[in-house]
């Protein structure tokens, strides 16, 4: 039971539609639905349960995320993007049909020391330029050889773009060429594209793709809107007006008097704050949506509340619903005002925010 009028409304059929849109961009490839970080804040179990009949596999960052999905009854293979280390983790992967994306010599040595069964489908992460995780192409080739010989399997060769959202990036092309050359030589399948690459670099979207952010209707590319990408916004954050007051010129609102009225203003207080995931460090241009109009966030965002200027919306009253981000206020816009990206705001919606699911 929850009473607070502050919600993240999650539209599960929008997520499915976005997944299908990702598939349309690469009809010959297969797409792993990336649901790490609690499905980017949308609830991994709910999202996985809804998508499961439609996807070949899921991806998460680490083992505990995958185990939680199995405990909730999700049966499809789960790719573990940060790989697995040590015997216990690898045995769990065998037992639960997880696909480790092995990225280091240490992880591969651990794997080979326990004579794994061929059913343990391995992916090898190759560092083609991101320089964060991954084997060198030379090491990847020798490990792929070894897996072919000793496990009778061809690993999927994977890499991750560092600049996928940049149009015509020579870095992306170089990364792609390196991985394709290695995969052709080894006769292995490849996995390269995240959401931005599916859109920007369709040549890379072969084999297995790994769309994440686009599934949630958040454009991975700054110059494209949700509609232009044929996506649907999956999360709408709303709250209510819980108080309204008038302030006189020169009077300040909120902590540290960061905002001062220049003229007589009508200020509404909303039941949402930074402890819900609304960014505290937002600049003074951040806006919300009510009564078909936009209104400015004014003053410092508090833990449980924030204040907006509704001087131009005389019909607004206590109890009215206000959208913080969603179909009218893109999450990327709120993020830009807080000097961050939509990914961060979505994944930082906190546990106390009630999530209400819409299913078709």
Binding site residues, as ranges? 132, 303
> Encoding tokens for residue 245?
């007051």
- Binding span for ligand PLP by CB under 6 A among 7-15, 169-177, 182-190, 204-212: 204-212
Size of the site for ligand PLP (CB under 6 A): 12
x-marked contacts with ligand PLP along 42-81 as a string, rule CB under 6 A: ---------------------------------------x
Candidate segments 206-214, 225-233, 313-321, 352-360, binder of ligand PLP by CB under 6 A: 206-214
Q: Where are the beta strands (DSSP E) in the chain?
A: 7-11, 30-31, 33-34, 58-60, 78-80, 98-102, 123-125, 156-158, 190-191, 208-209, 235-247, 252-253, 259-260, 265-270, 287-290, 293-298, 306-309, 321-325, 354-358
CA atoms within 13 A on the CB side of 174: 9
The whole-angstrom separation of Cα 179 and Cα 189 is: 10
Q: Which is nearer to ligand PLP, 36 or 266 (CB)?
A: 36
CA distance 326 to 272: 15
103 binds ligand PLP (CB under 6 A): no
The β-bridge partners of 30 are 208
| Cα–Cα distance, 103 to 224 (Å, whole number) | 33
Give the N- to C-terminal CA distance of the chain in Å, as an integer: 23
Comparing CB distances to ligand PLP, the nearer of 213 and 329 is 213
335 binds ligand PLP (CB under 6 A): no
26 in contact with ligand PLP (CB under 6 A): no
269 binds ligand PLP (CB under 6 A): no
CA distance 16 to 217: 10
CB of 325 to ligand PLP, least distance (A): 17
Q: What is the DSSP string of 6-70?
A: -EEEEEHHHHHHHHHHHHHHSTTSEEPEE-HHHHHHT-HHHHHHHHGGG-S-EEESSHHHHHHHH
- Which CB atom, from 79 or from 322, has the smaller least distance to ligand PLP? 79
Q: Which of 12, 44, 126, 160 binds ligand PLP (CB under 6 A)?
A: 160
Per the annotation, binding residues for substrate are 132, 303
Pairing of strands 259-260, 252-253: antiparallel
Site string for ligand PLP, 80-99 (x = CB under 6 A): -x------------------
Sequence-distant (≥ 6) Cβ neighbours of residue 142 within 8 angstroms: none
CA distance 195 to 220: 7
- When the beta carbons of 219 and 326 are compared against ligand PLP, the nearer one is 219
Length of the chain: 360
Candidates 129, 78, 82; CA nearest to 104 is 82
Q: At its nearest, how many Å lie between ligand PLP and the CB of residue 16?
A: 16
Q: Which of 12, 29, 34, 182 touches ligand PLP (CB under 6 A)?
A: 34
Among 21, 172, 195, 265, binds ligand PLP (CB under 6 A): 195
Q: How far is the CB of 195 from ligand PLP (least distance, A)?
A: 3
Report the residue closest to ligand PLP, judged by CB.
212
Q: Is 64 exposed, middle or buried (0-12, 13-18, 19+ CB in 10 A)?
A: exposed
Using the rule CB under 6 A, give the single segment among 2-10, 85-93, 188-196, 279-287 that binds ligand PLP.
188-196
What is the smallest separation between the CB atom of 210 and ligand PLP, expressed in angstroms? 4
Please report whether residue 194 would count as binding ligand PLP according to CB under 6 A.
yes
**Closer of 215 and 301 to ligand PLP (Cβ):** 215
110 binds ligand PLP (CB under 6 A): no
Catalytic residue IDs: 36, 255
Q: What is the binding site for ligand PLP (CB under 6 A)?
A: 34, 36, 81, 160, 194-196, 210-213, 220
């Amino acid at each position: 039971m929850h009473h607070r009028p502050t919600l993240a409304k999650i539209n599960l059929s929008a997520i499915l539609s976005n997944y299908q849109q990702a598939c349309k961009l690469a009809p010959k490839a297969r797409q792993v639905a990336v649901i790490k970080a609690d499905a980017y804040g949308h609830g991994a179990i709910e999202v996985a349960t809804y998508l499961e009949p439609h996807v070949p596999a899921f991806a998460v960052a680490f083992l505990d995320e995958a185990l939680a999905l199995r405990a909730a009854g999700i049966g499809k293979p789960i790719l573990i993007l940060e790989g697995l280390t040590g015997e216990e983790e690898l045995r769990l992967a065998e037992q639960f049909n997880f696909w480790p994306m092995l990225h280091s010599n240490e992880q591969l040595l651990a794997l080979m020391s326990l004579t794994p069964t061929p059913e343990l489908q391995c992916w090898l992460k190759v560092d083609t330029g991101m320089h964060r995780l991954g084997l060198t192409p030379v090491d990847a080739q020798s490990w792929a050889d070894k897996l072919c010989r000793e496990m009778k399997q061809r690993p999927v060769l994977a890499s991750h773009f560092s600049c996928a959202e940049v149009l015509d990036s020579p870095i992306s092309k170089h990364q792609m060429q390196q991985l394709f050359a290695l995969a052709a030589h080894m006769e292995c399948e490849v996995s390269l594209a995240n959401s931005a690459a599916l859109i920007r670099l369709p040549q890379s979207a072969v084999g297995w793709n790994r769309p994440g952010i686009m599934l949630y209707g958040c454009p991975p590319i700054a110059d494209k809107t949700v509609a232009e990408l044929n996506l649907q916004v999956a999360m709408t954050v709303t709250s209510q007006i819980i108080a309204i007051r008038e302030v006189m010129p020169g009077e300040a609102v909120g902590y540290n008097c960061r905002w001062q009225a220049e003229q007589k203003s009508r200020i509404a207080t909303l039941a949402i704050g930074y402890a819900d995931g609304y960014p505290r460090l937002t600049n003074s241009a951040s806006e919300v949506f009510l009564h078909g109009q936009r209104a400015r966030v004014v003053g410092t965002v508090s833990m449980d509340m924030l204040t907006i200027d509704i001087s131009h919306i005389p019909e607004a009253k206590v109890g009215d619903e206000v959208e913080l981000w969603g179909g009218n206020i893109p999450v990327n816009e709120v993020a830009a005002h807080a000097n961050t990206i939509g990914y961060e705001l979505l994944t930082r919606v906190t546990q106390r925010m009630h999530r209400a699911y819409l299913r078709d």
